[in-house]
Chain A
Amino acid sequence: MIPLLRLAGALLIPILAFFVLWATFDFLRDAEANRLLVVGVAILVGVGGVFFLYWGMDRVVSLLPERYREGVRPYIFVGPALVILAVFLIYPVINTILTSLKDAQGESFVGLDNFKFVFTDESMLRAIRNTFGWIVIVPLFGVAIGLAFATLADRLHRGEALAKSMIFLPMAISFAGASITWKLIYDFRPAAFGSNIGLLNGIMLGLGQEPVRWLDIHPWNNLFLMVIMVWMQTGFAMVVLSAAIKAIPDEILEAARIDGASELQVFRRIIVPSILPTIAVVTTYMVINAMKVFDIVFVMGSPETRGTEVIAERMIDWFFINNHDGRGAAIAVILFIAIVPVMIVNIRRFREEEMIR
């Protein structure tokens, strides 16, 4: 009886609430209403709906006989999260693994053919190599610059918040916006097609050099694209590391200084070891992000002719442009497998933290 009730609580009520929401939207879609009104109603329904869902479920649980109540309630709290994760993440993972064993239309099974393709296709191999470069270089520079800046800004008497905000600024820019931003840096025009409006070539011309097609010089163009991601993500690393540095007790730092330690020694022997766990978290996060990088490469244009492919970009290419579901899915599976070691490290670290608690 109890397991049945739990199941009902965890599954049926969220599903019921979902259908109420869905019916509202079906109505909204058909209504030729003023856009502002539609948007307003949508926001209200969306925000209000989720709170109403939990409140309603809790009321329903309270109606249950007393001895079942506390057994069911936890599942009410975690139920919606688990349902959504099952639909939006677990189901796709299983589905993708199955699709990776099928043909272009995803109809008949072809065994491991798609994986054979993935590891023989030249463009794909280049993508794997490039992605490897991304996961090494982007976190390395992001964390190093972020740490250096956080340490330096910590010593400013005034303007620390302002300086940090300036570094964080690029986080607020979309990849589409960032691509426009960086085209104004890398833009190239041959001599006959007007003056160069890209900053780098402006500098080259100012120095009396020929303008350069920055994004066409392989393999350096990969590095130029990585610069964009470093630019966007250093702010995140810096903010998190800065908070960690501020949490180091002042007495320790001052004691070291009184004992005659140089600033560099304080940094290497005290600051870095104290915030090592945070550095690990930030690095992990940036490695995962670099592994999944897609937008920058895609929006900056023609990765295949430039040799700047990355794994996630290949996947989108095979899914949406070449319409070969099997190959796209196989690349997705490779990406997933590549991320598994990072995941294991993450879980191990988490378990250690649990022990300390």
Chain B
Amino acid sequence: MSTTTVPPATRPIPIRGSGLEPRGGGWFVRIAVLVIVILWLIPSLGVLITSFRPESLVDSTGWWTALLHPFRATEWTLENYRQALDAGGLGNAFLNSLAVAIPATVIPIAIAAFAAYAFSWMEFRGRYLMFIGVVALLVVPLQMALIPILRLYNHGAVIGGYYVFPDLDLVGTFLGIWLAHTGFGLPLAVYLLRNYIGSLPSSIVESAKIDGADHFTIFWRLIIPLSVPALAAFAIFQFLWVWNDLLVAYVFLGGTRQNRVLTIALANLVGGRGENWQLLTAAAFISMSLPLLVFFALQKYFVRGLTAGAVKG
């Protein structure tokens, strides 16, 4: 731990546009950026437009034709959103998604932050090996873990007639899915947070120790406030992942109307209603709304925090 390491968060970002302007920029740059942005927006635009068009039109004409007469009232409707929320039972699913996603974001971050602190600033045997082990687990494919864990949840684990893991009947509970998401998200969380927390200046920790603070206080009062960018970056990442996850939710929470999350409700709409594009697209936008809100709200942390450990300038 060198004392000269500067925390990336405090490194000033160079301000552009002061001295020489890059040559050859101008129109070429603007047009190139615009072309890529438009290409990237087209698919989402199709969904957005379709979600506001009446059923009869959606099925008979391409969504792009709506752009030809954007001010004709018969081209647009809000009916799809009403129906999707009502008939699709999306309101309930939205609540369930919240109940899954918020703790499944907070729990792994908390656990990973404690572990990352210990790996960076505490002395104990096997510290390096344990950390390498955690990083190695980054590569376990999630799908590989589903079946064994499902069995564990349903029947427990028995070795030689004794339960080593009790039969807890966790399938269909929020706790079961939180723990699963925590397990799957933990390696990346520990890796990223360890990179960040480990790069904080050791003088801060040392002086706090001299002042008589114990590890818990240092962690809670110093490290956590200093690590907000990294914590927020991982929070966005994990939240997007959990919110958009279909597989884990389907396996551990199930598709019953009471329990299902948004992605499952959405998948059911796809399966159950054939090609009801107008409902599907409205539902897709409802499910996208919260992640987009979270992303735009925390965007500035995302860039700073995620790259703090990886980028050495």
Contact = CB atoms under 8 A, between A and B. Distances in A.
Given A46-B102, A96-B144, A179-B270, A74 B46 contact: no
Nearest to B98: A39
Interface residues of B, number: 134
A357 B146 CA distance: 37
Contacts of A294: 143, 247
B87 to A, nearest CB: 17
A50 B183 contact: no
B42 to A, nearest CB: 7
Contacts of A295: 246-247
B141 A243 contact: no
A111 to B, nearest CB: 21
Interface in A161-204: 161, 163, 165-177, 179-182, 184-185, 194-199, 202
Given A75-B124, A172-B291, A197-B61, A240 B306 contact: yes
B313 interface: yes
Interface in B75-112: 92, 95-96, 98-99, 102-104, 106-107, 110-112
B292 A181 contact: no
Contacts of A254: 19-20
A46 B183 contact: no
Interface residues of A, number: 124
Contacts of B123: 74
Contact of B313 (A55, A96, A239, A247): A247
Contacts of B303: 239-240, 242-243
Nearest to B175: A25
B232 interface: no
Contacts of B292: 169, 172
A38 to B, nearest CB: 8
Given A92-B145, A292-B141, A346-B135, 4 more contacts: A172-B240, A177-B266, A231-B43, A249-B313
Interface of B: 1-2, 5, 11, 13-20, 22-25, 29-30, 32-33, 36-37, 40-44, 46-47, 50, 58-64, 92, 95-96, 98-99, 102-104, 106-107, 110-112, 114-115, 117-119, 122-124, 127, 130, 132-149, 151-152, 157, 165, 168, 170, 172-175, 178-180, 182-184, 186-187, 190, 198-199, 215-216, 219, 240, 243-247, 258, 262-263, 266-267, 270, 277, 280-281, 284, 287-288, 291-292, 295-296, 299, 302-304, 306-307, 310-313
